[in-house]
Amino acid sequence: MISLTNKQIANLITVEECVPVIEELFKNIENTQMPPKVYMNIPNGDFRSMPAVVGNTAGIKWCGLNIREEGKIHIFAKILINDTISGDLLAIMDGELITAIRTAAVTGVATKYMAPEGSRVAAFVGCGVQTPNQIKAVCAVRDVERVNVFDLDRERMLGICRDMQDYKVEIHPCLDLEDCVGNADIVTTLTPARGDGYLEHCMLKDTCHVNAVGADAKGKREVRQSVLEGVDLIVYDEWEQCSHSGEIQYGSNTTMVPLATVVAGNGEHEGRQTLFDATGLAIEDVATARYIYDKIRNNIMCG
Amino acid sequence: MISLTNKQIANLITVEECVPVIEELFKNIENTQMPPKVYMNIPNGDFRSMPAVVGNTAGIKWCGLNIREEGKIHIFAKILINDTISGDLLAIMDGELITAIRTAAVTGVATKYMAPEGSRVAAFVGCGVQTPNQIKAVCAVRDVERVNVFDLDRERMLGICRDMQDYKVEIHPCLDLEDCVGNADIVTTLTPARGDGYLEHCMLKDTCHVNAVGADAKGKREVRQSVLEGVDLIVYDEWEQCSHSGEIQYGSNTTMVPLATVVAGNGEHEGRQTLFDATGLAIEDVATARYIYDKIRNNIMCG
């Protein structure tokens, strides 16, 4: 049995490396099982259990979210994976970094299959801990020449630009939301916004792709109804989760298809304006953990 | 964070010690949360995720059952517990021994509140790995003078008698089922029987208590309909699980109440003939794991 910390995992997998892992997962979606996430509410947050089977790997992510003093959010996650043939536990891994990496990798896969081929400008709204990984995922699948970022918290926005100053693409802080997304071919929203959302359809280019990553719970919302109705195609990661917790919980008359269908169709679903609604899936955690496990085992066996 | 193996846990908790832990749990059932177990089937078995909150502990048991070559059953289980206030992971423990101990402890609690006061003879049907713990649990709550055991596998039956030859109560192997249960005040069934079950009402004493422990899945059954209809009271550990996976999945017109009600009522539910239907609960795993964790922490802090 292998036990891995976030720090060790950081040296074992990159976002760019995880994109094809997640692509492969969605190509083989028929070899997966994923019962609904189970939530247990506690006074200052919740705990979630996310079991899944991917091929011959059964696994679970056990994670919690606590609001501590001064409103600080504390995230906890562990991932356990077992071999389904032997039943043996293969690994216990810290789940926080895997979650961030696989979430970005899914954005990469959706962008690869849905964003305009010639995309050059990518906008990222919200400059939290996930944003650098999301930038890397998008830039892994398109020849992005300019990255715009925006956050209401100016310090946080400038922090991202500073942290990524050596990155292959220049990161531009923006004055406001319109400035950030207005000329973007790819827009990725990464905020914990609630209420009516903030992204309007009139802000978007005529041809573009939106990754709506932030909304993953009832009441969360980043894109306004004008976007949900205005785009030509909505792709969701998983119907049950998205219709309960994603952007599409608010309903839309736009055509909706699962990401697995888009990935199987090799891009035939590319539209004029597309939106990907991501809530985060247990199968993504299990597939990524298994990839890391196999990488270590192969290294050990070859080394 | 504390990490414990089965071997370490064996030195940290006894069945007798776990009985009051489980009793306390059922006395405070209003401070618990337990969503339904989630099953994922695999070709040769299944994996289960069992999350629960007990007081300020959130936890999960992740477990699997695999039928290996030659029909050998392989059981795997890990239990993770977190503090709900901080969100921090407190412990990762092997779950196999905790499962066996808490299952026996629940039998002890049910027997304490339901079995005739003057019970002297206890019968155990099925001599698997759980049976020694179950014997200890029953003998912890009643002054048992004679223990009868029976198993269709004679070697296994004699093995239990040999293994427990130094136990405070003598263990008698029996010739057949009737011989085992016929004069018993307490009957505990511990087999993986399916189909129609095997325990008939006419085999039981006029005053007795039955712990039906084996049935914990659809299709499993140890007691026949004559028992379900013939006893005066049926107590279940949890309604959803028992009505789907326990003995009462087959229905009965007998009065049914939850164990928590019986424990709260201080024995008022003691009947002429009673049956306890146990399926095993995630709250029992979490409560037992937290007890072990607290014991270590207190020792460390005192020592």
- Those of residues 238-257 in A touching chain B at CB distance below 8 A are none
Nearest to B40 among A35, A64, A65 (CB): A35
Pick among A2, A61, A66, A81 to test the B interface (most B CBs inside 10 A): A66
| pLDDT of the residue at B89 | 97
Q: Do B38 and A42 touch (CB under 8 A)?
A: no
B82 lies in the same domain as B115 = no
Dihedral angle over CA of B39, B91, B239, B142, nearest 10: 130
Spatial separation of the C-alpha atoms in residues A74 and A7, rounded to whole Å:
18
| Euclidean distance between CA atoms A1 and A14, whole angstroms | 23
Nearest-CA neighbor of B218 among B192, B190, B188, B183? B192
Instruction: Classify residue B168: in a domain, yes or no.
Output: yes
Q: Summarize the confidence of residues B120-140 as an average pLDDT.
A: 97
State mean pLDDT over B132-157.
Answer: 97
> CA of B66 to nearest chain A CA: how many angstroms apart?
6
**In Å, how far is B69's CA from the nearest CA of chain A?**
10
CA distance A185 to A146: 10
Q: Are residues A176 and A198 in the same domain?
A: yes
Tell me what the pLDDT averaged over chain A comes to: 95
Query: Among B35, B47, B75, whose Cβ lies nearest the Cβ of A38?
Result: B35
Mean pLDDT value of segment B3-23: 97
Rounded to a whole number of angstroms, the distance from the CA of A185 to the nearest CA of chain B is 39
Residue B27 lies in a domain: yes
Residues of chain A with pLDDT under 70: 266-271, 301-303
Give Cβ neighbours of residue B247 (< 8 Å, ≥ 6 apart). Answer: B197, B212, B215, B221, B222, B223, B228, B234, B275, B277
Per-residue pLDDT at A73? 86
Split into its structural domains, chain B has a count of: 2
Q: What is the pTM of this model?
A: 0.94
Q: Are residues B43 and B59 in the same domain?
A: yes
> Closest Cα partner for B175 from B198, B150, B205, B193?
B150
Cβ–Cβ gap A92/B78 under 8 Å: yes
Mean pLDDT for B234-248 is 94
**CATH assignment of the domain containing B191:** 3.40.50.720
B261-286 pLDDT tens trace: 999 985 555 568 999 999 999 999 99
Confidence at B299, pLDDT banded by 50, 70, 90: confident
Q: Are residues A184 and A130 in the same domain?
A: yes
Same domain, A70 and A18: yes
Whole-angstrom Cα distance, residue A77 to residue A64?
A: 6
In a domain, B103, yes or no: no
Instruction: Flag whether B59 is in a domain.
Output: yes
Burial status of residue B200 (CB atoms within 10 A of its CB: 0-12, 13-18, 19 or more)? middle
C-beta separation of B80 from B94 below 8 A: no
In chain A, which residues have their Cβ closer than 8 Å to the Cβ of B58? 40, 42, 47, 64
Nearest to B116 by CA among B280, B237, B233, B279: B233
Same domain, B172 and B265: yes
* B42 vs A: CB within 8 A: yes
| ipTM topping 0.90 | yes
Residue A47 exposure: Cα atoms within 13 Å on the Cβ side: 30
The residue with tokens 């009947």 is B271
Q: B133 — contact with chain A (CB < 8 Å)?
A: no
Please tell me if residue B45 touches chain A, with a CB cutoff of 8 Å.
yes
Task: Please write down the HEC assignment for all residues of chain B.
Answer: CEEECHHHHHCCCCHHHHHHHHHHHHHCHHHEECCCCEEEEECCEEEEEEEEEECCEEEEEEEEEEECHHHCEEEEEEEEEEECCCCCEEEEEECHHHHHHHHHHHHHHHHHHHCCCCCCEEEEECCCCCHHHHHHHHHHHCCCCEEEEECCCHHHHHHHHHHCCCCCCEEEECCCHHHHHCCCCEEEECCCCECCCCECHHHCCCCEEEEECCCCCCCECCECHHHHHHCCEEEECCHHHHHHHCHHHHCCCCCEEEHHHHHHCCCCCCCCEEEEECCCCHHHHHHHHHHHHHHHHHHHHHC
pLDDT at B291 over 70: yes
Question: What is the model's pLDDT at position A21?
Answer: 98
Nearest residue of chain A to residue B84 (CA atoms): A42
Q: Is the pLDDT of residue B16 over 60?
A: yes
Contact A49 B52 (CB under 8 A): no
Query: Per the domain annotation, does B104 fall within a domain?
Result: no
Question: Per-residue b/e over A240-274, b at no fewer than 16 CB within 10 Å?
Answer: ebbbbbbbbbeebebebebbbebbbeeeebbbebb
Minimal Cβ distance to A51: which of B40, B53, B89: B40
- Residue A227's SS3 state is helix
Please give the Cα distance from B7 to A63 (Å, whole number). 27
Domain containing residue A245: 104-277
The answer, for B33 touching chain A at a CB cutoff of 8 Å, is yes
Say if residue B19's pLDDT is above 90.
yes
pLDDT (tens digit per residue) in A188-228: 999 999 999 999 999 999 999 999 999 888 899 999 999 99
Asked whether residue B244 falls in the same domain as residue B163, the answer is yes
Partners of residue B37 in chain A, C-beta under 8 Å: none
One domain, residues B199 and B81: no
- Strand residues in chain A grouped as ranges (E): 2-4, 32-33, 38-42, 45-54, 57-67, 73-83, 89-94, 121-125, 146-150, 170-173, 186-189, 208-212, 233-236, 256-258, 273-277
Question: Do A154 and A198 fall within a single domain?
Answer: yes
Residue B93 and residue B242 in one domain: no
Claim to verify: residue A78 and residue A157 sit in the same structural domain: no
Token code pair at residue B224: 């026949």
pLDDT value of position B302: 65
B51 falls within a domain: yes
From the CA of A7, how many Å to the nearest CA of chain B? 17
Model confidence at B196, pLDDT cuts 50, 70, 90, reads very high
**What 3-state DSSP class applies to A2?**
strand
- Look-up: residue for tokens 């998205």? A242
For residues B45-69, give the mean pLDDT: 96
Pairing of strands B57-67, B38-42: unpaired
Does A194 share its domain with A71? no
In a domain, B105, yes or no: no
Q: What is the CATH number of the domain that holds A27?
A: 3.30.1780.10
On the question of pLDDT at B303 being above 60, the answer is no
| B84 touching chain A per CB within 8 A | yes
- A43 chain-B contacts, CB cut-off 8 A: 84
